[in-house]
Structure formats: C-alpha cells, structure tokens
C-alpha cells in the first residue's frame, strides 16, 4: 500500500491558502478515523498509509481537503469550476491499437509558493503525486500515464500521432537527441518501462503546433516542456487503455492544482474514432442506495440527518430520501430498491473512482458516522458456503505431513533459472513464465518446483541446530497456469531413503490410496537432485504423481548446505485425479 509523506511546512502553506489549520496532533487522531493509519509523526513530517481504494488521498492538497471535509470545515461537496479554453488535441486513427485513450486539461494561475524553497517543494510534491497515481490507478503506467508540462513553453493545438522507432527528440533529463529505440534501451526511464512497448512497430507521440515533442507516453516527456520554479500555467495529458483510470488520474491532478488556486480549463479532443470529447468533466455521479441495505450492514437505524452528515464528511451529499415508486417488486440483490421501501439518493465526486456499488456508499457512511459509534453486535447476515474439493484435499495433505513431524512454511512463487533447474538438475515442465522487469536476479521467473524454495530456506537457517524438517503446499506456474504442488525437505543426520519412503507411504495412506495402486520406479541417474540409485518416482495406477529420495552432495553444496538432506515433491492436482476422496 502506498504511503504519503506530508511535510508540515507544505501542509501549513496549503491549509493557510484554504483558511483552515490543523496541528499535527489533531491529524494524528483524525486520520485513523478516516481510514488512514499514521505510521510516523515527528517535528518535520507525518507519514500516512493510504489504502488502495482511496487514490484521491495521495497528495498534500487532496489529503488536506479531505481533512477539512471530515472535520466539517467545508460543505460536503467540493465543486471545481471548469471554463473553456482554445486548446485542442487531434488524435490520429493510428493510435487505435497503440495507446488509444488521450485526455487533457489546462490549469492556470497555480500558487506554487513565494520563494525558491516552497516552489521546489511544490515540484517534488507534484512529481510524487504523479508517480503514486502511476503506481496505483495506472498499474505502473500500463493502464494510464500522466504528463504534466509548462504551458508557456507550448504552442497549441496539439497532435497525438504515431511515429517509427527511428524518430528522435530530446527527452527529459537529457541534453542530446535520442531515437525512440535509444530511449527504450539507454535512458533510465525508457529501460524501466520498455516492457510496455514490447511488440510495437509504431510509438505514440504528442506534438504541439511547432512540431515540438511534448511527450512520448507512457515513457517520458520531452525536455522542452519541463516544469520549473517559474511555472504557474500547466498542460496535463493522460493517455492509456482504461477510461476510468485515465479520467480519475486527470481529475485528481487538476483537483490538486485547483486547491493551490489554479483555474481549470477544458480541452477539446478529436478522438481517433471520430468522436469529439471535452475534458475534464467534474460532474458528480448519482447513486441510489436502499435504506434497508444501510440498516442491514451497519446494524442500526440512522436518521436522514445522520446519514447526510456522515456522507458530507466523506465529500458527498445526500440529495433526497424518498419512498421508491418505480423499482423492483422484490429484492433479489442487496442493492435492489424495492417499491414501497425507502431509498436515499447520493451525489459523490467523480474523482472517487473507488465507489462502484451501493455498498461503497454504506462504507463511507460508516466511516463518516464513526466505527466507534456503531453498536457492538454480531452480524445478522448469514451466508452459507462449502469448501472447494481442492480445499479438502489440501487440508488432508497438510494434516498428513504435519503428523510426521514436518513444519509448514510458505515461500514466494518467484524464483530463478539457476535455483529451479540448474542446481536441482530438473527439466522444464512447460514453458517458463518469465518476469519482464525483475527487481532482483533472484526473482526472474514464476517457479515450477517448490523444493528449491525449501532448500533455500534450509540454507538460510543452516546456523540453527538440526534436525530441520519443513514442508510447503503451494502454487507453481506451468505454461501460464497455476498448479498445486507439495514438497518437503529434512536436514537431519541418520535418516535417508527409507525415511523419505516412509513419509510418502504415510501421505498416500492418509489420502486413501490402496497399496495395490502404488508402484515405485528408480529415477534416471543425474536427472533430478537425487543421489544415483537413491531416488524414486511414485506412480498411482501408472500415473507419475511425484518423486523422492536422498539429495546428492553436489546439490546440497550448491545451496550452501553441509548436512544430509532427504526430500520429495508431489503434484497435488494429479493426486486429486488419481486417488478418490474416501469421504465422497
């Protein structure tokens, strides 16, 4: 979950601009009530954890606005006026299969600060807000990406076109022209996000009327449009594939700048499909919510006044409460408004993209009313459920392995080629699912085997006393599909192949396998992590379900271990197919 660090000096300036001041002690108590835990609060800053469902709280300005609303220092709705401008964007039809969505806005007259220090803090805050939106709503720029530019350096109207990889311009933080291919392979931002351009022959570029490059979305802006300390007028572009994510990113950047005194102006866009749209649109969204749903979830009856006050603290407004005359005859879903029952009509800000269902309004009412004010009663909602067949099987496997003295562990599904295949001498079971942009060389693919993870765990604990007996039942990925496998590894002296075989026989007995169904055959020498002659495959009616044995000294040493290890690995999905559940 993202964390926002609010500098007290910046927060104080924003609060003075809006005529309301909150000491850090007040914020310390208030923010958790809003659903934002405070992780740090010292003399310089306050760090706040923001949950993924509230991207509207990821900037100094929007957080300060939310605090004012929650305290009732402002009315429940924050209206942002949008005037028309003469800015126009023409989107070419070639962008249809490249990056089809483009939105834009102009914000003029932003108060960025009275001195160099304040203006520098503003620029850093703007960049942090932009990157947090990229990470959350934009899913690392894959769904949406934002460009913020100095409008005074641009000449509208703008064009959104596609170009070849040989096209050159001067990117941000560079002094020389670079081709798009060079940016993707050499520039730090280009390397970081190059995976978003995989398989493309043409690339999106935004030009102004002088053919100057404004942006190469979603990778990097042109150097010419860099925001500086003298910038007060801004042009914002948002491009991507998801309309909801793109619109919310644009609205939140505009909202943040408008909180600093900026005047928002619209941009007319001629879309690639021939439609003309005008952005940004700050019109609120309307949500009908049955009163029965509020009472069912919260466990108490609230007056219309209490409901209105609660939603006002969350930035919305109760438009009216009425008896339903045109709705469902009977409720098939919790959110259905039934004729004759009472419903409430709410108006919520358009930038609250987390509100997708009436239950989200109920959650806001609960936060606004205060969880501490809700009655301490058990839920009256009863939902019957039954476990999946796979859950029953997994439970029985875990019980069996625990019964022979193995301790359960859970490790990452991320691994690497060396640990999965080279060290263990196991073959690829299918196409390997690679990580396109790995953070570390230890996490470059999704694992196909679990045993390497357990060997790594034993290696990390080699300074502890023996015996160490662990197992894991977890997910692996074969050819892009999730599979279930179980593995154990025991680092102990005086145990070997016979002990491993005993664990296998105990597991199969507990799962209900008849001894006549089970057969063993030796593994091929050098094929797998086993000592030659001390490894075996397990078959159920001719189907291979796993293998076990004594781990060879070469494999043990490759993982940094010195003690003897016996282990096994089984395909749980195959076991579920070959061994009938004795209960069903």
* Mean model confidence pLDDT for the chain: 88
pLDDT confidence of residue 77: 72
pLDDT confidence of residue 72: 81
Token pair recorded at residue 137: 């709503």
Q: Flag whether the pTM goes above 0.75.
A: no
Q: What is the CATH number of domain 285-373?
A: 3.30.56.10
Region 278-301: what's the mean pLDDT?
A: 91
Q: How far apart are CA 54 and CA 364, in angstroms?
A: 11
With a cut of 60, say whether residue 584 has pLDDT above it: no
Q: For residue 437, what pLDDT band results from cuts at 50, 70 and 90?
A: confident
Token pair recorded at residue 145: 């990406």
Q: Where is average pLDDT lowest: 270-274, 442-446, 510-514?
A: 270-274
Q: What is the CATH number of domain 82-279?
A: 3.50.40.10
Q: Where is average pLDDT lowest: 37-41, 262-266, 269-273, 368-372?
A: 37-41
Q: For residue 25, what pLDDT band results from cuts at 50, 70 and 90?
A: low
pLDDT confidence of residue 28: 73
CA distances from 141 to 113, 207, 429 (A): 29, 20, 33
Residue found under tokens 């005194």? 261
- Burial, 81: exposed, middle or buried (Cβ in 10 Å; 0-12, 13-18, 19+)? exposed
Angle (CA) 91 96 97, round 5°: 140
From 224, 193, 228, 230, select the one nearest 206 (Cα to Cα). 224
CATH 3.30.56.10 spans which residues of the chain?
3-70, 285-373
pLDDT confidence of residue 421: 93
Question: In this structure, are strands 101-108 and 263-265 parallel, antiparallel, or unpaired?
Answer: antiparallel
Angle (CA) 416 421 425, round 5°: 155
User: Tens of pLDDT along 395-419?
Assistant: 999 999 999 999 999 999 999 999 9
Count the neighbouring beta carbons within 10 Å of the beta carbon of residue 228. Answer: 11
Please list the residues that pair with 145 across neighbouring strands.
Answer: 239
User: Tens of pLDDT along 111-126?
Assistant: 998 889 889 989 999 9
Q: How far apart are CA 13 and CA 482, in angstroms?
A: 51
Q: How far apart are CA 19 and CA 217, in angstroms?
A: 38
With a cut of 80, say whether residue 4 has pLDDT above it: no
Q: How far apart are CA 209 and CA 159, in angstroms?
A: 8
What is the percent of the chain with per-residue pLDDT over 70, rounded to a whole number? 93
pLDDT confidence of residue 284: 93
3-state SS string over 331-386?
CCCCCCCECCCEEEEEEECCCCCCCCCHHHHHHHHHHHHCHHHCCCCCCCCCCCCC
pLDDT confidence of residue 17: 62
Residue found under tokens 């806005």? 105
With a cut of 90, say whether residue 367 has pLDDT above it: yes
User: Tens of pLDDT along 210-247?
Assistant: 999 999 999 999 998 899 999 999 999 999 999 999 99
Region 368-394: what's the mean pLDDT?
A: 80
With a cut of 70, say whether residue 100 has pLDDT above it: yes
CATH 3.50.40.10 spans which residues of the chain?
82-279
Fold of 3-70: Phenylalanyl-tRNA Synthetase; Chain B, domain 1 (3.30.56)
**Where are the alpha helices (H) located in 71-179, listed in sequence order?**
116-135
In three-state secondary structure terms, 264 is: strand
DSSP 559: T
With a cut of 70, say whether residue 16 has pLDDT above it: no
In three-state secondary structure terms, 322 is: strand
pLDDT confidence of residue 310: 94
pLDDT confidence of residue 78: 79
Q: Where is average pLDDT lowest: 14-28, 137-151, 297-311?
A: 14-28
With a cut of 90, say whether residue 11 has pLDDT above it: no
Q: For residue 337, what pLDDT band results from cuts at 50, 70 and 90?
A: confident
Residues 6+ apart with CB under 8 A from 281: 82, 247, 350
- Are 50 and 58 in contact, with CB atoms under 8 Å apart? yes
pLDDT confidence of residue 521: 93
Give me the count of residues in the chain: 584
Region 289-308: what's the mean pLDDT?
A: 90
Q: How far apart are CA 211 and CA 224, in angstroms?
A: 12
In three-state secondary structure terms, 298 is: helix
Q: How far apart are CA 421 and CA 413, in angstroms?
A: 15
**CATH class of the structural domain 389-578:** alpha beta
């Amino acid at each position: 979950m993202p964390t926002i660090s609010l500098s007290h000096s910046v927060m104080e300036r924003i609060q003075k601009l809006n005529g309301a001041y909150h000491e850090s002690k007040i914020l310390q108590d208030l923010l958790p009530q809003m659903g934002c835990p405070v992780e740090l609060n010292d003399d310089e800053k306050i760090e706040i954890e923001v949950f993924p469902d509230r991207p509207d709280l990821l900037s100094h300005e929007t957080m300060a606005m939310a605090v004012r609303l929650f305290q009732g220092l402002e009315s429940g709705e924050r209206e942002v006026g949008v005037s028309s401008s003469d800015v126009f964007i023409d989107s070419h039809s070639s962008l249809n299969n490249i990056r089809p969505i483009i939105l834009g806005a102009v914000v003029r007259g932003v108060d960025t600060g009275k001195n160099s220090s304040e203006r520098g803090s503003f620029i850093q805050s703007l960049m942090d807000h932009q990157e947090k939106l990229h990470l959350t709503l934009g899913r690392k720029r894959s769904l949406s990406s934002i460009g913020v530019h100095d409008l005074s350096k641009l000449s509208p109207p703008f064009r959104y076109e596609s170009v070849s990889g040989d096209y050159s311009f001067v990117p941000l933080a560079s002094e020389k022209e670079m081709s798009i291919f060079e940016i993707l392979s050499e520039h730090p931002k280009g390397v970081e996000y190059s995976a978003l351009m995989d398989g493309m022959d043409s690339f999106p570029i935004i030009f102004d009327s002088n053919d100057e490059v404004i942006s190469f979305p979603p990778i990097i802006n042109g150097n010419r449009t860099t925001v500086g300390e003298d910038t007060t007028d801004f042009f914002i572009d948002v491009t991507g594939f998801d309309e909801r994510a793109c619109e919310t990113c644009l609205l939140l950047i505009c909202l943040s700048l408008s909180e600093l005194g900026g005047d928002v102006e619209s941009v007319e866009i001629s879309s690639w499909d021939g439609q003309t749209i005008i952005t940004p649109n700050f019109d609120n969204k309307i949500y009908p919510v049955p009163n029965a749903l509020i009472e069912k979830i919260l466990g108490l009856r609230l007056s219309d006044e209490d409901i209105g006050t609660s939603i006002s603290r969350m930035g919305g407004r109760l438009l009216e409460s009425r008896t339903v005359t045109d709705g469902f005859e009977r409720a098939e879903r919790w959110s259905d408004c039934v004729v004759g029952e009472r419903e409430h009509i709410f108006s919520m800000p358009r930038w609250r993209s987390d509100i997708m269902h009436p239950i989200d309004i109920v959650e806001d009412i609960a936060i606004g009313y205060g969880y501490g004010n809700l009655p301490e009663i058990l839920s009256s909602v009863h939902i019957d459920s039954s476990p999946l067949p796979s859950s029953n099987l997994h439970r029985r496997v875990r019980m069996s392995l625990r019964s022979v003295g193995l301790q359960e562990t859970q490790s990452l599904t991320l691994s690497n080629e060396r640990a999965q295949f080279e060290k263990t001498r196991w073959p690829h079971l299918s196409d390997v699912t690679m990580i396109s942009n790995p953070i570390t060389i230890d996490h470059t693919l999704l694992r196909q085997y679990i045993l390497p993870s357990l060997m790594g765990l034993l290696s990390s604990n080699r300074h502890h006393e023996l015996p160490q007996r662990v197992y894991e039942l977890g997910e692996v990925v074969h050819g892009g599909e999730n599979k279930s496998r179980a593995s154990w590894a025991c680092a102990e002296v005086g145990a070997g192949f016979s002990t491993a075989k005993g664990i296998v026989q105990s597991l199969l007995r507990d799962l209900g396998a008849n001894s006549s169904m089970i057969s063993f055959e030796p593994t091929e020498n050098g094929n797998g992590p086993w000592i030659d002659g001390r490894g075996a495959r397990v078959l159920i009616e001719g189907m291979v379900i796993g293998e076990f044995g004594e781990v060879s000294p070469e494999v043990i040493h490759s993982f940094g271990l010195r003690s003897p290890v016996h282990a096994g690995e089984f395909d749980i999905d195959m076991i579920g197919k070959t061994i009938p559940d004795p209960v069903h």
